[in-house]
Structure 1
Amino acid sequence: MTEMRADLLSPPGSAAYRAATNPHNATVVQRPAMVAHPGSAEEVAQAVQWAAQRDLGVAVQASGHGAGAPIESDRVLVDTSGLNAVQIDAHARVAHIGAGSTWSAVNAVAERDGLLGLAGSSTTVAVAGYTFGGGVGFLTRPYGLASSALLAVDYVDGHGQIRRAAEDAVDAVDREALWAFRGGGGVGLAIALTVELVAPQHLWAGYRLWSIDALVPVVDAWVSALGQIGDALSTSISVLHTPPGAPTFPLALQGVPTVHLAFASPQGPDTAIPLLRALSIAPAPVVDSSWAPADAARLAQIHLDPPNPIPALGIGRWLGPSAPAVTADVLDTAAAADSPVAMVELRNLDNNAHTRDGATTAVPGPFLLHAVGTANDVASRSRTEDGLSKVRAASIAADIGRSAASFADGRGADADGLDHSGMQRLARISAALDPDRRFAPSRLLAALNDA
């Protein structure tokens, strides 16, 4: 029988257990039979074998941004946050990254060589789950989704065997596994990723904040600039409810709905000229975090993601070219002080970047809608669901019928992330690598299992 070192296992009640079962998204309860803390590929395999020999399932988590399904005592939770090694091959522009690494850690090393990974908008998101979900950030427009930059994945299958998913893998199922890891939520338990890096020459970023009274003119300015900003400038326009007493915001914008516009480009200051010109006609912002040269840390700050764990419940939807026409109505759903929607945003993501073969390696639509509220209990969850329904109704004219599953905060399943053929292919790959369904399914596979 496979045994693990005692120091790699944490039982309920221990400090390590409590830390590992406190995910960034605190919507659901996590009470696994045990938490495993592997620090190597061999220890990951041992954890899966250990669980199998006790007829336990396996769930995996690093930062817990993607937490959504409860983890009960019939599963072992594999905490991959200790798999955090980062190696950069500057000549090849490639990074070899532990599955539990965060993008902030990766880019802190990569930028020493003038390189960056295609990180998201939060500093604390782990590389693996973000990339396997597609990977959307402020570098998506010029460079594409992070899933398309994924070159290989070292992983463990449902039998506890170490494998490598790559385009040149000898076994066809490992070649298929790479397709699934590229935006299909993944299959198996990832140990490490090999990703392509980019070399932005002139990274600039900034953001502005207004009182909610400026919503319509700011939206009008953003919409009018979209056709003129070229293919490098990424923007996120949102209404967010700021926490009271938060020092990040000036007193006039604390605890109230606020208009937020963040923007970034790897091609220098001129890319934002059309947007800045359009905004000059709108009311002056309360906060102007200057459009200026940026490093990876500044790029990760402009979205103003909450740093601490919250019980978030959300939706992510891909919208078509008509999204600008509904933007004001969509953002207005969160404009009231008592709105249960704490944040609603639209991002422009249309691009012509090169894509590799994968489940989702190109943006399904030119705009992404993300809305989120809190779900502390049954009552607040119901209220937030009502608010999110209003967001869906306001955006329905531009909705293309595809969800962005990684933005479905606090949910265990999401049914519309792939088309029918893609879902069937994902199911076949999962069945081949995990015939006993040892692993807790991704949101996409969970939706298929529930159908």
Structure 2
Amino acid sequence: MAALAQSSGTPLEIVPQATGHGAGAPVGKGAVLLDTSRLTDVSIDPELRVAVVGAGATWSAVNAAAEQHGLLGLAGSAPSVSVSGYTFGGGIGWLVRRDGLASGALRAVRYVDGSGRSRTAADDSTDEVDRAAIWAFRGAGGVGIAHTLEFDLVPVADLHAGALLWHADALPKLVAAWSSTIGTVGSSVSSSIAVLHVPPLPPFPEELHGRVAVHLAIADPDGPVAATPLLDAMRAAAEPVSDSWGPTDAAGLARIHLDPPTATPAIGDARWLDASTPVIAEALLSTAAADDAPIVMMEIRHVAGAPVRRTGAVVAPPGDFIYHAVAPLNLFPRERIEAGFARARSVWSIADAGSRPGSWVEGAASVPDALPADVRKRSAAIADAVDPDARIRRSRLLG
């Protein structure tokens, strides 16, 4: 509120940011960066299964507190991501097929509008603008400046998860096993199959250092049984070099994607794909499997069947699968990376579901095709109502 008051009467733009994970838009001289990363309070109500947290709280902090009560929030792959930007962009995590997108778990948001007024967005808010705002916070990037979130937690009775790694020369056999089995896993199982260029660092086994690997990340909050068909099929196709599947906790769940431990300059590409994806999986992943490929990680995430918990801009997966690729700018020129993305596009376009998971497109200033036209139009109108003078930078999903 103070930042808005001090910039009143000036052309300064207010740019909210928590952790900055995946940020890609420049912050110029005509803008004020409003850093919310120190808003880290976390409060857990185990009886109501609700968390109230600051917009700068990370998922690692939230789930470390929640798991003491047998609960978890619907966190994503990287534990250092803030709950706010992740949730407002939809929030696709390892519990998605049982519990849905994180946006659907969002109960309320306390935020500041363009005039500096403090408001609460919720379905039962007395003000029509605030009732509209919670709809936009659920997957359209949000509106105004959020400072506190309230969301549901879910019970996790028997959390199992793990990362399995194989040599890339087994890719055809592994993808064949994955393709023939992925439709048979239980509805609580979420997973991704990926091609990964392994750095010469722990926690990767030395046998794979500097080589290309096939990576399966898999999780089930309800125990080991439902994942057995997929695990058995892929283990039978080729012996894994590394296999960490087993009982785990929130910290272990956050490690299965094998994200780098420190921030890395990179750009990403992502797309929602339809149910035909297993047919093209080998051809798609093969575009990133060459030793000199600029894409260091390409995955296909399985999200089919995720339930819808509440109404909102994006509260259900627009497709059964997600294609996601990441390339480091410190190792390859952008032109070569874009050519790699184009090769992948020539394959995944056959299974295109029509939009992008916007928060997965790392390093982009805007992702205009993250939302259907009608959703983007409605969300933009809500942003105009909250901030009619456009003093607060809009979500990149509305770009």
- The TM-score with structure 2 as length reference comes to 0.98
- Mapped contact 1:153–1:178 kept (Cα < 8 A): yes
Residue of 264, 281, 293 corresponding to 2:247? 293
User: Could you say which residue in structure 1 is the equivalent of 2:237?
Assistant: 282
User: Could you say which residue in structure 2 is the equivalent of 1:27?
Assistant: none
Q: Offset of 1:352 from its aligned partner?
A: 4.6
- Mapped contact 2:101–2:306 kept (Cα < 8 A): no
Give the AA of the match of 1:295. Answer: D
Q: Offset of 1:356 from its aligned partner?
A: 0.7
In the TM superposition, what are the counterparts of 1:288-367 in structure 2 within 5 Å? Answer: 288-289=243-244, 291-367=245-321
Whether 2:206 is the aligned partner of 1:251: answer yes
User: Could you say which residue in structure 1 is the equivalent of 2:396?
Assistant: 443
Whether 2:135 is the aligned partner of 1:182: answer no
Whether 2:67 is the aligned partner of 1:114: answer no
Aligned partners of 2:262, 2:6: CA distance in 1, in Å? 33
In the TM superposition, what are the counterparts of 1:396-415 in structure 2 within 5 Å? Answer: 396-415=349-368
Whether 2:136 is the aligned partner of 1:136: answer no
In the TM superposition, what are the counterparts of 1:25-44 in structure 2 within 5 Å? Answer: none
User: Could you say which residue in structure 2 is the equivalent of 1:419?
Assistant: 372
Give the AA of the match of 1:294. Answer: T
Give the AA of the match of 1:365. Answer: G
Give secondary structure in 2 for the equivalent of 1:81: coil
Aligned partners of 1:87, 1:336: CA distance in 2, in Å? 47
- Mapped contact 1:225–1:274 kept (Cα < 8 A): yes
Q: Offset of 1:53 from its aligned partner?
A: 4.4
Q: Offset of 1:375 from its aligned partner?
A: 2.3
- Mapped contact 2:219–2:253 kept (Cα < 8 A): yes
Q: C-alpha offsets along residues 75-113 of structure 1, whole Å, 9 cap, x if unaligned?
A: 111111110000011111000010000000000001111
Aligned partners of 2:79, 2:56: CA distance in 1, in Å? 13
Aligned partners of 1:352, 1:204: CA distance in 2, in Å? 19
User: Could you say which residue in structure 1 is the equivalent of 2:174?
Assistant: 218
- Mapped contact 2:159–2:219 kept (Cα < 8 A): yes
Bigger RCO of structures 1 and 2 (CA < 8 A, at least 6 apart): 2
Aligned partners of 1:140, 1:352: CA distance in 2, in Å? 6
Q: Offset of 1:400 from its aligned partner?
A: 1.1
User: Could you say which residue in structure 1 is the equivalent of 2:148?
Assistant: 192
Aligned partners of 1:193, 1:103: CA distance in 2, in Å? 13
Aligned partners of 2:395, 2:197: CA distance in 1, in Å? 30
User: Could you say which residue in structure 2 is the equivalent of 1:21?
Assistant: none
Whether 2:6 is the aligned partner of 1:50: answer yes
Residue of 120, 123, 127 corresponding to 2:83? 127
| Aligned structure 1 segments of 4 or more residues deviating by more than 6 angstroms | none
Give secondary structure in 1 for the equivalent of 2:136: helix
User: Could you say which residue in structure 2 is the equivalent of 1:61?
Assistant: 17
Give secondary structure in 2 for the equivalent of 1:391: helix
Aligned partners of 1:352, 1:99: CA distance in 2, in Å? 25
Mark the runs of 5 or more structure 2 residues left unpaired by the alignment.
none
Whether 2:211 is the aligned partner of 1:272: answer no
Whether 2:385 is the aligned partner of 1:429: answer no
Mark the runs of 5 or more structure 1 residues left unpaired by the alignment.
1-44, 447-451
Aligned partners of 1:80, 1:48: CA distance in 2, in Å? 14
Of the structure 1 ranges 345-354 and 211-220, higher mean CA displacement relative to structure 2 is found in 345-354
Aligned partners of 2:17, 2:339: CA distance in 1, in Å? 29
Aligned partners of 2:137, 2:265: CA distance in 1, in Å? 26
Q: Offset of 1:257 from its aligned partner?
A: 1.8
Q: Offset of 1:170 from its aligned partner?
A: 1.0
- Mapped contact 1:66–1:129 kept (Cα < 8 A): no
Give secondary structure in 2 for the equivalent of 1:327: helix
Give the AA of the match of 1:348. Answer: H
Aligned partners of 2:161, 2:12: CA distance in 1, in Å? 47
- Tell me the C-alpha RMSD between the 2 structures: 1.2
Give the AA of the match of 1:151. Answer: R
- The TM-score with structure 1 as length reference comes to 0.86
Aligned partners of 2:390, 2:296: CA distance in 1, in Å? 36
Q: What count of residue pairs does the alignment treat as equivalent?
A: 399
Give secondary structure in 2 for the equivalent of 1:77: strand
- Mapped contact 2:296–2:326 kept (Cα < 8 A): yes
Q: Offset of 1:195 from its aligned partner?
A: 0.3
User: Could you say which residue in structure 2 is the equivalent of 1:204?
Assistant: 160
Give secondary structure in 2 for the equivalent of 1:141: helix
Q: Offset of 1:383 from its aligned partner?
A: 1.3
- Mapped contact 1:52–1:438 kept (Cα < 8 A): no
